[in-house]
Amino acid sequence: MAGDAGSRKLSVEERIGLDAYDFGRNDFIKVDTQACRTCEPKPCLYVCPAKVYKLDEKGDIVYHPEDCMELGACVIVCRHIGKGAITWSYPEGGKGIEYRQG
């Protein structure tokens, strides 16, 4: 795959797809989805490059911790612009994301 990276520029989605995830447990992200229902800006939808947070068909926030890139930006924007509904911490020791393409 390294040869592919040298021959053409990879998109963000393609780079993310090369990363490896080993989270062990998924409770390092907790979301108060009730609070999200009244959050008008829903900043988590826009700040997360891995798109951990999405709207379902009813317009409710759903999240997939197994896609987390451990930036923590979701917590910051949720606290300052949103409703403070996201609690985030690093995955347990030795677990988490392994970046393979910068």
Each residue's pLDDT, cut to its tens digit, for the chain (102 residues) gives 444 555 788 887 777 777 777 766 667 889 999 999 999 999 999 999 889 999 999 999 999 888 888 889 999 999 999 999 999 887 777 777 776 765
**Structural domain harbouring 64:** 23-98
Domain count, the chain: 1
* Residue-level pLDDT at 1: 47
What lies within 8 Å, CB to CB, of 46 at 6+ separation is none
Residue 11 in any domain: the answer is no
* Residue-level pLDDT at 9: 86
Q: How far apart are CA 97 and CA 21, in angstroms?
A: 5
Overall pTM > 0.85: no
Residue 2 in any domain: the answer is no
Q: What is the CATH number of the domain that holds 35?
A: 3.30.70.20
Residue 13 in any domain: the answer is no
Residue 69 in any domain: the answer is yes
Residue 83 to residues 33, 42, 87, Cα–Cα distance (Å)? 10, 9, 11
* DSSP character string of the chain: -HHHHHHSPPPHHHHHHH-EEE-S-STTEEE-HHHHHT-SS-THHHH-TT--EEE-TTS-EEE-GGG--S--HHHHHHHHTS-S-EEE-PPSTT-EEE-S--
Residue 49 in any domain: the answer is yes
* Residue-level pLDDT at 101: 66
Residue 80 in any domain: the answer is yes
Residue 8 in any domain: the answer is no
